[in-house]
Structures are given as C-alpha cells and as structure tokens.
Amino acid sequence: MTEPLDSAVPAPDAGLPDEPTLPPLGSIGLLRWMWRQLTSMRTALVLLFLLAIASIPGSVLPQRGTNPLRVDQWLEQNPGIGPLLDRAGFFDVYASPWFAAVYLLLFISLIGCVLPRIRQHAKSMMAPPPPAPRRLTRLPVSQEFTSSVDGAALLATAQGYLRGRRWRVRLGESPVDGNTWIAAEKGYLRETGNLVFHLALLLVLLAVAVGGVMGWKGNVIVREGSGFSNTLTQYDAWGGGRFVNPNDLAPFSFTLDRFTVDFERSDAQRGAPRLFEADVTYRASPDAEPTTRTIEVNEPLDVAGAKVFLVGHGYAPRFVVRDSTGEVVFDDAVVFLPQDGNFTSTGVIKVPDASPSLGFNGLFLPTAARAGSGMGISVFPAADNPEVLLAAFRGDLGLDSGVPQSIYALDTSKMVKVGLNPLAPGDTWTLPNDSGSIEFTGYERWASFQIARDPGKELALLSALAAIVGLMLSLFVRRRRLWVKVMAASGGGTLVQVAGLAKTDSVDLPADVRALAVALGADVDDERSAP
C-alpha cells in the first residue's frame, strides 16, 4: 500500500505516512501528529521488533504460569537480582504490563492503520481503472505494433479478451489526442487479503481474550480405582477467568479404572515412555449413563464442553501404620511425585491418629539400585524392583496450627527423627521406642489430568485460518494494470500500443502484456522489452 504506482499514473490510494515529520503546535495538532506516528509503518515495524524482544525473557527464565516450582528455586538461588526481576514481571512475562503494552500498542496501531485502508480499498474497488497515461511506451513493460485491423475492432477484441480473464475494464478516449484506449486492472484480492489478514489477527487476539475471561483449567491427580467429579474442591489446582463462576462447573465425573504405561526396554532411548493409557468410566452429568473410554496423550476426553487431558502419571505406594498396640491407624495409598525420568518419587505420609503423631518422608524407587555412595536410586521408570526409603519422625505434625499445609511436605520443626529404613513390598518396619510399625504393602498408579474449557478456541482457529488465507492472497496475488491504445499509423493501418504496470512485483507482467498483444495479432518477436 505504501508503494505508490509509477508516477505516470495517479495512485488510487494514498500512501501511508512514512517519513517522520515534525510535530505541529497546538494540542489537537499534536494529538493528530501522535496518532499518525503511531499508525505509521515505521512504528509498526519498531513495535514488531519490540514484541519479538519482549518475548525472549519468558523463554529463558522459568515462568509462574508453567513452572512455579522452578521460579521459587530460581529466586532462592539468586537472592540479589531475583526479587527485582520478580517485581518487574519477568517470571510472568506474558501477563506483565510491559508485554501487554507492546502488543496493545501494536494492535491499536493495526486498527489505526487498517480502518483507513479499508475505506480506501472499498473506494478503489468501486472506481474504474485509471485512464491510460499519455506515453504508454514509457511504461516498464510495453509493446508497439501495427495492425491492418481497424482500431475499434481491436479494442473490442481486447475488451472481450480481458473480460474473459476477469480483468476490470474501462474504455476511454484521450482528450488531448482523441485516441481511444482501454484500461484494465486486476488483483484487487491482494489488498483484500492483506486487510483480511490484519483483521484476522485482531480476531485471534479477541479469541485469546475470550478464552482468558471465560475459560478455566484445573489439574487433578486421580489414583487407580478412584473417582473425580468436576467441582472446585476436587482440584489440586484450578484457575479460571473473571467471568467464570467456579461453583457452577459442569457436573461431570469419572473414575480411573485402569492406568497402563509402557517404557522402552531396548538400549536406544531406554526408559523413554512408549504408552500411556487411562481407562475411565465417565458420566456427562449425575444422571447420565456411565460410558467407558480410554484417554491417551493425543486423545483427550470431550465431556460437557470441557476436555480431559492425560498429562502425567506416577506411583502411589500403599502403607499400613499400626500403633504400639497393633491397631491400624493408617491404611492408604499415598501419591508420590516423580522427580526424574526414572520416576524416583518423593512423598510424605502423615499419621495424625497415632500418638504421638507420626510422619514419614519417603522416597519411592520403582527399579531400585545402589549408587556408588550407597544411596538408593531408580534406574528404570517401570516398577521392576520397587523399594521405599522412609525417614520416620515423631511429634507434632503441625496440622492443628490452622495454617494450611501441603500434602507433599512434612514440617519437621516440632518433630524428632526416629530412624531411616528401606522397605521392599511386604516388609514391615517396627519403629524404635515402641512407636508402632509401618508396612509397605505395595503400590498403585495414579494419573494426572488437566481439565480445561476454552470457549475462545474455535474463534481462534477460524481466525487463524482466515489469516493464512488472507496472507496467501496478499503475498501471491499481484495487482497490475494493462492499457491498450490504438491510433492511426503513419504508414496506414492501426498503431497499437500495449503496456502494463505492476504494483509491487512485475513477474507476471511481461507475460500479461505479451499475451494481450498476441491476442490482438502482434508478432511475438516484435516486442520491445519482454524477456
């Protein structure tokens, strides 16, 4: 759009302000000047660069949105600069005010740029092609030949030819020399495509915003054999947009019947996951029929407007704790969180019902081996040789303090360590000092699910596709003009001039001019400048 056509021809649409100009005095003038600066191509360019640069820190530093634990670690390791960066939003870059400032300015600039262009384009679509310039042979591609056919007939042929190829055609007569001409133009879709593309980007942003305020997502860990129902309290973590009522979630539910995993056992990529499958039974609403399904990594469950994705898995070793009298005070499987690719997992067992209360820090090794230091490590992610290492504590678990506690951390500040012991399945460890015993009875698996609803995603997809189509039109369609002028040749017959002008890219133009000339009876070798 900023590329005006050759000066020989009046440009149908004025170029955008490109060159910097000095601000005029007066507040209205200044505002107008600022608006023009903001909507100039140069500003768009600078803002695009800024957007690229502003995106970088979020790929280097850990981000709260995706990895809050690593953010905390990073802050601990960098007490100096960490808090400063934190305050400046570097751990939540894509939600930070400065990132928003860049893309909002860009989109304001985009609107300011596109709206006037829509008006101009509509006008130029309505207007007939511009009249033939005086000296057609001066145009970059032109051809001249004489014909024995008379001028009017040639113009009629040209008109038929061009209309058949969907050029927009206009007939005219030069007021200066009285010669008649045809003007034709093609490729309006280029600008249309460009406008569609830019508008579609706005729609993508809108779709993201819709998802942001009306969508929600949560994570939940479900043990084999257990169930989940879609209420806020069941989630381990949940976040929703401003317009979501968390008490009003669609009341679907499911149970995890079976979870199957398989790992690579050959040497190449040993231990890499090969299969995750969660067999579930779900109900779309409390009174719906139960249905069974298998959820896999690329095959989420679509239910009641939400999607249930399988995102992770791990082990939940099962323990029975007895007090000194032999009475069972704890009998449950405990979710341990994997720490590495071989599923070395950590977890915590809290037994408030024992007296005094007991707590255990546990390490679960699915395929246990001894490292050189004697430390237990896991060497394979499947449970080929399971073992737990337990550190037992006795005392006050701190559960009554009123401060909410993580189920994955043990506060040992008011406890004393009782001992450390490895256990294989079936082993019982009798704690010293008559504190009771703990038995490692086996393990279950758990799967973690992300459950999400994003009402903006269809719009996002549609606008992204519109953007691609618009982009292709904008880059591949070539806007170009052709003119034919006929006049009496000095030696009798008709002198025919055919010429063309392309707006941005002249690849097709010589061929267009040549084909038109040939259609009018020119000898192909006669051309002046076609390749």
Partner 1 sequence: MTSVQLAQASNAAVYASMLTLTLAMIFFAVSFAAGRRRPAAAAVSVSVESVESVGGTAVITRTAEAIDRSSDPGRRAANIGMSLTWLSFLTLLVGVILRGVWAGRVPWGNMYEFSITAALGILGVFLVMSIRRDLRWLGLFVVIPALLTLGLAVTVLYTEAAQLVPALKSYWLVIHVSAAIICAGAFTFAAATAALSLVRSRLERKAGTTEIGGWASRMPTSERLQVLTNRVVAFAFPLWTFAVVAGAIWAENAWGRYWGWDPKETWAFITWVIFAAYLHARSTAGWRGNRSSWIVIVGWVAFLINYFGVNIFVNSLHSYSGM
CB of 2 to partner 1, least distance (A): 5
Element (H, E) at 424: none
Complex with ligand HEM: residue 113 or 154, whichever CB lies closer: 113
Residue 179 sits in the site that holds ligand HEM (CB under 6 A): no
Residue 268 sits in the site that holds partner 1 (CB under 8 A): yes
User: Torsion angle of alpha carbons 394, 396, 398, 399, nearest 10°?
Assistant: 80
Cis peptide before 129 (omega within 30 of 0): no
In a 13 Å sphere around the CA of 499, the CA atoms on its Cβ side amount to 20
Residue 113 sits in the site that holds ligand HEM (CB under 6 A): yes
Question: Which residues in 407-466 contact partner 1 (CB under 8 A)?
Answer: 450-452, 454, 457, 460-461, 464-465
Q: Judged by CB under 8 A, which of 297, 328, 409, 424 binds partner 1? A: 297
Q: Judged by CB under 8 A, which of 33, 74, 188, 276 binds partner 1? A: 276
Please, are residues 38 and 108 in contact by the beta-carbon 8 Å criterion? Answer: yes
Question: Which residues in 419-478 contact ligand HEM (CB under 6 A)?
Answer: 474-475
CB of 113 to ligand HEM, least distance (A): 3
Binding mask 41-80 for ligand HEM (x = CB under 6 A): x--x------------------------------------
CB of 509 to ligand HEM, least distance (A): 17
Measured CA to CA, the distance from residue 449 to residue 457 in angstroms comes to 20
CB of 468 to ligand HEM, least distance (A): 11
DSSP state of 496: E
Residue 39 sits in the site that holds partner 1 (CB under 8 A): no
Measured CA to CA, the distance from residue 90 to residue 110 in angstroms comes to 26
34: partner contacted, choices partner 1, ligand HEM, none (Cβ within 5-8 A by kind):
none
CB of 269 to partner 1, least distance (A): 4
Binding mask 193-212 for partner 1 (x = CB under 8 A): ---------------x----
Q: Judged by CB under 6 A, which of 62, 82, 99, 109 binds ligand HEM? A: 109
**Which residues, other chains included, contact 143 with Cβ-Cβ below 8 Å and sequence gap of 6+?**
497, 498, 499, 513, 514, 517, 522, 526, 527, 528, 529, 530
Q: What is the DSSP string of 452-485?
A: EE-TTHHHHHHHHHHHHHHHHHHHH---EEEEEE
C-alpha dist (Å) from residue 10 to 106, 184, 479, 480, 483 = 31, 14, 15, 14, 14
**362: closest CA among 397, 334, 332?**
334
Total chain residues near ligand HEM (CB under 6 A): 15
CB of 139 to ligand HEM, least distance (A): 21
Please, are residues 372 and 333 in contact by the beta-carbon 8 Å criterion? Answer: no
CB of 348 to partner 1, least distance (A): 25
Q: Judged by CB under 8 A, which of 249, 321, 467, 496 binds partner 1? A: 467
296: partner contacted, choices partner 1, ligand HEM, none (Cβ within 5-8 A by kind):
partner 1
Long-range contacts for 12-15 (Cβ within 8 Å, ≥24 apart)?
12/120, 12/123, 12/124, 12/127, 12/130, 13/117, 13/120, 13/121, 13/123, 13/124, 14/120
The residue to which tokens 């720490």 are assigned: 339
Residue 106 sits in the site that holds ligand HEM (CB under 6 A): yes
Question: Which residues in 191-230 contact ligand HEM (CB under 6 A)?
Answer: 194, 198, 201
Q: How far is CA 448 from the centre of its chain?
A: 23
In a 13 Å sphere around the CA of 493, the CA atoms on its Cβ side amount to 9
Residue 104 sits in the site that holds partner 1 (CB under 8 A): no
Which residue stretch of 38-46, 143-151, 173-181, 507-515 sits at the interface with ligand HEM (rule: CB under 6 A)? 38-46
**344: closest CA among 391, 386, 390?**
386
In the complex, the residues that contact ligand HEM under the rule CB under 6 A are 1-2, 39-41, 44, 106, 109-110, 113, 194, 198, 201, 474-475
